[in-house]
Amino acid sequence: MKRKITTALKEWKQSKARKPLLVNGARQIGKTYSINEFGKTDFSGIVYINLETNPVIKTVFEGNIEPATLIPMLESHTDKRIIAGETLLFFDEIQASERALLSLKYFCEMAPQYHVVAAGSLLGVAVNREKYSFPVGKVDELNMYPFDFEEFLWAFGKDKLAEEIRSCYSEMAPLPKPLHQLALEMYNHYCIIGGMPAVISDFLEHNSFLTIKNPQSLILNEYIADMAKYAANTTAMKIRSCYNSIPTQLAKENRKFQYKVVQKGGTASIFGEAIEWLQSAGIALKCQKIEHALIPIKAYQDFSDFKLYMSDVGMLTMHSGLPAQMILTSIEADNTFMGVIAENFVAQSFTANSIPLFYWKSGDTAEIDFVIQHDEHVVPVEVKKGVRTRSGSMALFSKKYNSRFAIRISQKNLGFENDIKSVPLYAVHCI
């Protein structure tokens, strides 16, 4: 399966200022597969070391971790040569060994001629920061996410459709009607299947929305197992409760995350650590409220007010129990949770494009789903589940902050009218 991270990996290899590379991301998003493929296609050999499933090799890092000592020992354990400039040395699940993570610093300082990549699923929560220092400034970092919609189209052999969407977006020209309908159909499929590689593979093999529940459930079980493994018992229960509450939180008319929904009497002091864990593990996305839509918008955050999305819209659909048929029949259905699905999809797409998540609210009178800083301008973004796009909030925001233009995401085709850029849901990855 073609992934966008492949381009970034190739650029890293060619960089003259290259450092060991650390690829961050949640479990089951395809880190191992993509890096292994990169090793096979761009190097004469690859030495793969999984530090979670191979406890014996972890002992290698308990002694001297300088490259001159480490490399011969790794060669001995793997029975493979590690040749500078020719071999990719890949440490997978590096969060399982803090000493292995620390070794990246010495590869940077003492042996920059080697190509070293490490991947971690829970680096933000698994590493004992009090005991081990993170190799700040000694590694290059890449963040990886589930398949975005464009990668999803590639996986289904819809490369031409993906090209047409990009081409029309660049010109803000409507997609031909048959392609527009096909793209919306693929968007609906994405909302059920999501961007997890194992789930996509299952659908491609069985062509069934029923069988994908099995790999989705397995992923959910892995998340829960990690909560128990990398957090104290009481904290793990809080993390799980917060995660399970996300569909309920988003289904409220006021989608602000409320601790009392998780548990009666819940507060930030009780559940704040759990929220940070979910965010650090990459399985939840936090969208912070801003009090004023001024430049720079980060400076006007209200840290007490945020929305929490799931990192994969397919997992949200499964976890909420929304029947696939409701998505497949008509996205204009009265079911208000369809708006939640669309909003989560946009949050996921923005995150994959490195767009920070912020939203704006003016008391109880108006709310803008997302706010983007574009150069010196602030751009309001509204998300609608269907083709009905009337909203007073957009006009209020644009007048208050003198916005040059706004973005409205919906089922409507591409277009630009009355200072509003109409972007169909299937083209959000182009923003």
User: Do residue 85 and residue 212 come from a single domain?
Assistant: no
Percent of the chain as helix, strand, coil, to the nearest 5? 50, 20, 35
Pairing type for strands 415-417 and 87-92 reads unpaired
Q: Shortest CA distance to 11 belongs to which of 115, 95, 123?
A: 115
175 and 126, same structural domain?
no
Q: Are residues 153 and 223 in the same domain?
A: yes
What is the rounded average pLDDT of the residues 157-176? 98
Stretch 265-293: mean pLDDT, rounded? 95
Q: Mean pLDDT across the stretch 298-322?
A: 96
Does the pLDDT of residue 227 top 70, yes or no? yes
Q: Are residues 113 and 189 in the same domain?
A: no
Q: What is the pLDDT of residue 310?
A: 98
Inter-residue contact 343 to 274 (CB < 8 Å):
no
Mean pLDDT lowest for which of 13-27, 141-155, 182-196, 389-403? 389-403
User: Which positions ≥6 away from 11 have C-beta within 8 Å?
Assistant: none
Q: What are phi and psi of 353, to 5 degrees?
A: -95, 15
If you count them, how many residues does the chain have?
431
Per-residue pLDDT tens over the stretch 382-429: 999 887 766 678 888 988 998 899 999 999 999 999 899 999 999 999
| Per-residue pLDDT band at 110 (split at 50, 70, 90) | very high
Residues 278 and 408 in one domain: yes
Please, which residues have CB within 8 angstroms of residue 253's CB and are 6 or more apart in sequence?
none
Q: Check: CB of residue 175 under 8 Å from CB of residue 185.
A: no
Section 34-44 average pLDDT: 97
Residues 139 and 228 in one domain: no
The number of CA neighbours under 13 Å toward the Cβ of 183 is 30
The SS3 call for residue 304 is strand
**What value does the mean pLDDT take over residues 53-65?**
93
pLDDT-derived band of residue 332, with 50, 70 and 90 as boundaries? Answer: low
Contact 134, 52 (CB under 8 A): no
Q: What is the pLDDT, as a whole number, of residue 124?
A: 72
98 shares its domain with 224:
no
Q: Report residue 103 as tokens.
A: 């070794």
Average pLDDT over residues 242-248: 97
- State how many domains the chain has: 2
Query: Residue 131: which pLDDT band, with cuts at 50, 70 and 90?
Result: low
pLDDT of residue 133: 67
Q: Of 127, 129, 123, 84, give the one whose Cα is nearest residue 107.
A: 84
83/168 same-domain check: no
In this structure, of 4-8, 245-249, 327-331, 365-369, the range with the lowest mean pLDDT score is 327-331
Same domain, 181 and 270: yes
* Three-state secondary-structure class, residue 334: coil
For residues 138 and 155, membership in a common domain is answered with no
3-class SS of residue 288: strand
Query: How far apart (Å, rounded) are the C-alpha atoms in residues 88 and 81?
Result: 10
For residue 306, what are the domain limits? 149-430
